[in-house]
Amino acid sequence: MPKAPTPPPSAQDLKQAYARAMTAMQSGQAAEALEMFGAIHDANPRIAEVEYQIARLLLDLDRFDPALIHAAAAAELATAQPAVWATLAEAVALQGSAPARAEFLKRLAAAPLAAPQKAALQDRFGATSRGTRPPTGGAAKPQLAQMVALVSAGKHREAEAAAARVLAAHPRCALAANARGTALAALGRAEPALAAFRAALAIFPGYAEAHANMAPVLARLGRGEDARRAWRTAITLTPDLVSALAGLGHQLLADGKPLAALHWLDRAAALAPERVDVTQAMGNAHTILRDYAAAHAAFSAAARATGRKAAMPLMMLAQAAAHLGRDDEAEADFRAALALEPQNATVRGAFAVFLQGLGRFAEAEAELLAAIAAKPEAGEPYRLYYASHKAAAGEPLLAEMKRHLADPATKDNDRMAFGFAISKALEDAGDHAHVFDYLDPANALMRKAHPYDIAEREAQIDQLIAALEGMDWQAVLPGTTEAAPIFVTGMPRSGTTLIEQIIASHSRVTGAGELGEARLMPVGPGGALRPAKTIPGAEIVQLGQEYAAMMRARFPETPQITDKSIQTYLTLGLMKLAMPNARFIVVRRDPRDTLLSIYKNVFPVGTHLYAYDQVDLARHYATFDRMIEFWRDRVPGWFHEVQYEDLVADPEPQSRALIAACGLEWEDACLNFHTNTRKVETLSVFQVRQPINKGSVRAWERYAERLAPMIGRLRQDGMIKD
């Protein structure tokens, strides 16, 4: 018999479900609450309170597009509710697009709100979109102008004193309280500065500039979430306040969230194209995302804005050109930057890394030694120098680094670099007993500078697997590209660069490095993952074709390329559907050796932020293993695994099996990969130019006691058996 239809939920059922959802939301269970409210919405999409709460939750999750949709629906259903209109205004301000603003103002004009409320919301996108008008408390204009001029001139002590005098006579002058906070912050007096900003906000809660000025102070105190909230509040109040847009973008970039950062940086750049710090940050974000063409465009804008008379924008432009394979252009820009600032250790260090990638190690060492001589107190040139230099016991630079490290005046970022450099030099010299005395503090300083919550990664993997479930992996999509890229994927420091070098030594293959063009994440319009089974086949086909077009444009003369974008394993199945002829090589290595090698190295800013804590490293490895097992279960024949230890123990049969898995005929050149002169842009730049050796196998055993937190967690998660 057919089943009876399920009756729709009653009003009482919906009321109880709403109460449960509110409890979850108030308990901080945002994802659970959103799911609960979503179920109510599916049952009855005409409840204003549900639309409102969904919008609030989506805003908290930075999903501005869907938040805007639900906030607009709430305003349509509850046209006279000020709180609903305030949330819609917040969604419009944070989403930031001109069409959203125009639609909001059109809706607002017809809203039955009190005139003052309506005027305040209208001004947010008009008269006060770039700045607020704080109360002066009756202070005279000349006195305020003098105070503001002192702040602008950087005369912080005089400015603080002037602001204090104004406040003594006019305690309700929010402008003076903000100026005092700004001066105190510049003088390094964080807590008094916060008190001054709070005083300004107590007078005028809508003072966007005070929120924006308070945010970097909170960030310096390690209160990152409070800082982000302050910048967002400022943007909500004044959507075009450049200092807030830029500040939040910079903060998110430092937090390792380049895609989120670009939302704010793009807006700041559109409003203030002369802000070189913003265009440089955009370039950095695009670089992290491996969109090197966009990075090159951003750094070009920064270089133009400075008339090509500033070294740092030119250096960054050179790095972007190098990523695009435009090495002659890159070298010219590096040399132009050095001509402007010959003593700039950062530029010399970056140029040296470029030279290392080209295999010009002697020139690279000369540049790094020059950088050390120019600024001996800077730690980074030493770290870069020892990345390729084999230290000997008792060499003078080792003693010099220890002396700088012991100096209380050495800054944390230099102290971190010295720690990594000393630990590498000690390991080279065979002083294994003291390596971690420097390595652990160096990693702790990196973690301090770049806080990270590994639970975010674990949640992302949960969400990704949920989004990939239910996909028909055996589907054959019409119109897919014939391109046959070879993707090399795995954990960092697991041997992926070595594997790529072996494959790229084949006459048919060009090693393209980390292109990062084919992640094919199932991301929806609001930034949330959508079920892969709902992605139209034509969209998947198009992404494969776009990748193939990019590959042909950049490498027109080669039949095949390798792409070593190591996180390819996250979406391996989708990429195979988009490019059926693609091959996937997954590199595995004893996790203890892999994670030790990661722990000993420094990665580009904003990337691999899990790398600086032993337990986080182990937990991240477990997410990698989980994704590989997911694909092994769903599509076991779609990738070839290489075990690093097996390769170095018996190179020829393992290399032959690898080349066969790539669909290629064997060539003896693949055993002589170390003679390949192609450019390499990874931390393994020196190692892959050496013949295979077993020196790094079971290296973790030397440090087993100091690696106890990592090894213990790996064992707890079942990642190691012995």
Band (pLDDT 50/70/90 cuts) for residue 692 is: low
Say if pTM beats, i.e. exceeds, 0.85: no
Q: Does residue 481 sit in the same domain as residue 568?
A: yes
Answer whether residue 184 shows pLDDT above 90.
yes
Tens digits of per-residue pLDDT, 333-356?
999 999 999 989 889 989 998 998
Among 99, 144, 154, 148, CA closest to 125 = 99
- As given in the structure block, the two tokens for residue 209 are 């500039």
Distance CA 489, CA 585 (A): 6
Q: Does residue 363 sit in the same domain as residue 490?
A: no
- Tell me which of 449, 484, 513 is where a domain ends: 449
- Tell me which of 418, 449, 480 is where a domain ends: 449
pLDDT value, residue 519:
57
Tens digits of per-residue pLDDT, 266-311?
999 999 999 999 999 999 999 988 888 999 999 999 999 999 999 9
Answer whether residue 1 shows pLDDT above 50.
no
Whose tokens are 């010299």? That residue is 429
Answer whether residue 213 shows pLDDT above 50.
yes
Q: Tell me, what CATH number does 411's domain have? A: 1.25.40
Whose tokens are 């750049």? That residue is 269
How would you label 588-625 residue by residue, b for 16+ Cβ within 10 Å and e otherwise?
bbbbbbbbbbbbbbbbeebebbbbbbbebbbbbbbbbb
Answer whether residue 679 shows pLDDT above 90.
no
Q: Tell me, what CATH number does 641's domain have? A: 3.40.50.300
* HEC readout, 65-134: HHHHHHHHHHHHHCCCCHHHHHHHHHHHHHHCCHHHHHHHHHHHHCCCCCHHHHHHHHHHCCCCCCCCCC
Q: Does residue 437 sit in the same domain as residue 479?
A: no
Q: Does residue 561 sit in the same domain as residue 678?
A: yes
Considering the chain, what is the average pLDDT of its residues?
Answer: 91
Tens digits of per-residue pLDDT, 597-648?
999 999 987 789 999 999 999 999 999 999 999 999 999 999 999 999 999 9
Query: 194 with 211: CB under 8 angstroms?
Result: no
Specify if 518 maps to a domain: yes
pLDDT value, residue 10:
81
pLDDT value, residue 298:
97
Distance CA 581, CA 528 (A): 29
pLDDT value, residue 676:
55
Specify if 232 maps to a domain: no
Answer whether residue 501 shows pLDDT above 60.
yes
Q: Does residue 352 sit in the same domain as residue 437?
A: yes
Q: 382 or 525, which is more confident?
A: 382
Specify if 699 maps to a domain: no
Answer whether residue 683 shows pLDDT above 70.
no
Q: 683 or 158, which is more confident?
A: 158
Write out the DSSP string of 537-603.
HHHHHHHHHHHHHHHHHH-TT-SEEEE--GGGGGGHHHHHHH-TT-EEEEEE--HHHHHHHHHTS-P
How would you label 520-542 residue by residue, b for 16+ Cβ within 10 Å and e otherwise?
bebeeebbbbeebeebebeebbe
Q: Does residue 392 sit in the same domain as residue 466?
A: no
pLDDT value, residue 31:
80
Q: Does residue 417 sit in the same domain as residue 518?
A: no
Distance CA 231, CA 197 (A): 13
pLDDT value, residue 686:
46
- Tell me which of 431, 449, 467 is where a domain ends: 449
Alpha-helix residue ranges (DSSP H) falling in 306-411: 311-323, 327-340, 345-357, 361-374, 380-388, 396-406
Band (pLDDT 50/70/90 cuts) for residue 555 is: confident
Among 89, 29, 31, 35, CA closest to 64 = 89
Q: Could you tell me the CA-to-CA distances from 619 to 401, 454, 521, 601, 614 in Å, in that order?
A: 33, 7, 22, 18, 9
Specify if 86 maps to a domain: yes
Query: 691 with 615: CB under 8 angstroms?
Result: no
Q: What are phi and psi of 563, to 5 degrees?
A: -125, 115
**Element (DSSP H or E) covering residue 640:** strand 640-643
Answer whether residue 61 shows pLDDT above 90.
no
Q: Does residue 436 sit in the same domain as residue 506?
A: no
Band (pLDDT 50/70/90 cuts) for residue 721 is: confident
pLDDT value, residue 516:
66
**Element (DSSP H or E) covering residue 486:** strand 486-490
Q: Does residue 425 sit in the same domain as residue 518?
A: no
Tens digits of per-residue pLDDT, 429-468?
999 999 999 999 999 999 999 889 999 999 999 989 999 9
Among 60, 61, 62, 86, CA closest to 74 = 86
Specify if 355 maps to a domain: yes
- Provide, rounded to the nearest whole percent, the portion of the chain with pLDDT above 90: 74
Answer whether residue 7 shows pLDDT above 90.
no
Q: What are phi and psi of 541, to 5 degrees?
A: -60, -45
Tens digits of per-residue pLDDT, 505-551?
999 998 887 776 555 666 654 456 788 898 899 999 999 999 999 88
Give me the domain span that covers residue 427.
342-449
Q: Tell me, what CATH number does 76's domain have? A: 1.25.40.10
Specify if 251 maps to a domain: no
Distance CA 575, CA 39 (A): 32
Band (pLDDT 50/70/90 cuts) for residue 359 is: confident
Q: 515 or 698, which is more confident?
A: 698
Q: Does residue 660 sit in the same domain as residue 534?
A: yes
Q: Does residue 370 sit in the same domain as residue 514?
A: no
Q: Does residue 529 sit in the same domain as residue 648?
A: yes
Question: In one letter, which amino acid is 176?
Answer: A
Domain total in the chain: 3
Answer whether residue 675 shows pLDDT above 70.
no
Specify if 216 maps to a domain: no
Specify if 263 maps to a domain: no
User: How confident is the model over 214-243, as a mean pLDDT?
Assistant: 95
